[in-house]
């Protein structure tokens, strides 16, 4: 049975760009330290390294971190979100980020030099809590198992003791170091709550230093989804936005698109490690269109009868079931059968909110 950590690593692996175009916009702020050709060859190499890294975590999830001590973390998608339940992956990305941010290139651009072991205590935007030495050593060992060489590091010590300088190389593909450098810079300089985990996803589009294109990002996120689900979601998004409705996007480990009618959030598109791609509808006027409700699949009709809301408060469950987020509809091949009535359902809610 896969662990939560291995599930998360598999999810992050899917979020990596399947291909990176030869030409994409790169803001001048990123070419001050790196040449454009170094960035363009380094980013794909870094993407390939992350794929390998995540594959190792998928394979050996339990070896890196014990299961969550809080039983809720396994049941509650709210509490299972990154980074709270997955400290190891967060720590791993902190170490990677620090190596990229603090490392300086040698003359041949195939090694990064760091002055001392401050790189393992440096605090940046990713660092929510102090990282124990044991966790630092775990992360460093994993990086080395995946081909990163760290000269000057004593892994036999209880602390990451080093000589000066520390030298980072990646003999398998030295260009990866340029990719690591520029993606850590992107995470540090342009990451926001609306566009986060840039480093984790190797999001090369962040290098343009522009607000993400929601449709383009949605196409990327759904690239591995069944054609029926992808076509349904893209058409629904385009139709909704074309009619002038507000859409807030949050791109990261737990990705969501929030769609509003006037000031009311009506529905969401979500992608999470434990539930995949799905939408939720906060339909509060189902009593006004009973004939349409009768066209919904039986399980949704039963949910409508119960009403959406917090399962704990409603006495339906002993843990958070994310009921407050609305009625749950998976974006899989089944959407081909229910997509039409789901779209009509959203339109009916819009009509009620607008008072039609």
Question: Consecutive sets of 10 residues in the chain, 356 residues long: mean pLDDT of each?
Answer: 74 88 93 95 97 93 61 41 60 88 92 74 53 81 93 74 77 97 92 78 92 86 88 95 90 85 91 86 92 92 77 53 75 92 94 84
Which segments of the chain does DSSP mark as H helices, in order? 4-15, 36-64, 72-75, 87-102, 133-145, 176-190, 198-201, 214-221, 227-242, 290-293, 298-306, 335-353
pLDDT for 204 = 94
Q: Which of 129, 128, 135, 165 is CA-nearest to residue 150? A: 165
| Cβ atoms within 10 Å of 337's Cβ, excluding its own | 10
Annotated domain spans of the chain: 4-208, 214-353
Q: Say how far apart CA 198 and CA 191 lie, in whole Å.
A: 7
With tokens 């434990």, the residue in question is: 274
What's the confidence (pLDDT) of residue 121?
60
Q: Is 243 exposed, middle or buried (0-12, 13-18, 19+ CB in 10 A)?
A: exposed
> Distance between CA atoms of 230 and 271, rounded to whole angstroms?
13
Identify the three-state secondary structure at position 89. helix
* pLDDT tens string 288-332: 999 999 999 898 888 888 876 655 545 545 555 565 668 899 999
Rounded Cα distance, 254 and 39, in Å: 27
């Amino acid at each position: 049975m896969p662990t939560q950590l291995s599930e998360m690593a598999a999810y992050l692996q899917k979020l990596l760009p399947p291909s990176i175009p030869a030409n994409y916009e790169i803001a001048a702020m990123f070419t001050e330290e790196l040449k454009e050709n170094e960035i363009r060859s380094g980013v794909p190499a870094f993407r390939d390294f992350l794929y390998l890294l995540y594959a190792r975590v998928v394979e050996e999830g339990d070896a890196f971190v014990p299961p969550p001590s809080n039983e809720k973390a396994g049941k509650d998608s709210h509490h299972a979100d990154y980074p709270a339940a997955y400290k190891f992956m967060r720590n791993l990305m902190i170490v990677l980020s620090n190596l990229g941010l603090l490392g300086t290139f040698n003359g041949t651009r195939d090694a990064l030099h760091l002055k001392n072991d401050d790189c393992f205590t440096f605090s940046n935007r990713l660092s929510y809590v102090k990282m124990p030495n044991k966790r630092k050593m775990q992360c460093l060992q994993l990086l080395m198992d995946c081909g990163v060489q760290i000269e000057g590091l004593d892994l036999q010590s209880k602390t990451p003791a080093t000589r000066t300088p520390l030298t980072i190389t990646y003999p398998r593909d030295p260009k990866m170091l340029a990719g690591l450098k520029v993606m850590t810079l992107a995470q540090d300089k342009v990451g926001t709550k609306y566009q986060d985990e840039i480093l984790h996803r190797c999001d090369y589009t962040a290098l343009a230093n522009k607000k993400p294109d929601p449709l383009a990002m949605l196409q990327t996120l759904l690239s591995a989804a069944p054609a029926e689900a992808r076509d349904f979601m893209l058409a629904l998004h385009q139709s909704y936005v074309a009619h002038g409705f507000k859409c807030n996007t949050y791109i990261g480990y737990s990705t969501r698109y929030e769609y509003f009618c006037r000031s009311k959030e009506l529905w969401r598109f979500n992608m999470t490690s434990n539930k995949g791609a799905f939408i939720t509808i906060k339909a509060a006027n189902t009593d006004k269109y009973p004939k349409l409700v009768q066209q919904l699949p039986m399980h949704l009709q039963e949910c409508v009868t119960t009403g959406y809301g917090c399962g704990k408060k409603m006495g339906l469950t002993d843990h958070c079931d994310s009921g407050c987020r609305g009625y749950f509809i998976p974006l899989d091949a089944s959407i081909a059968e229910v997509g039409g009535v789901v779209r009509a359902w959203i339109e009916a809610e819009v009509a009620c909110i607008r008072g039609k």
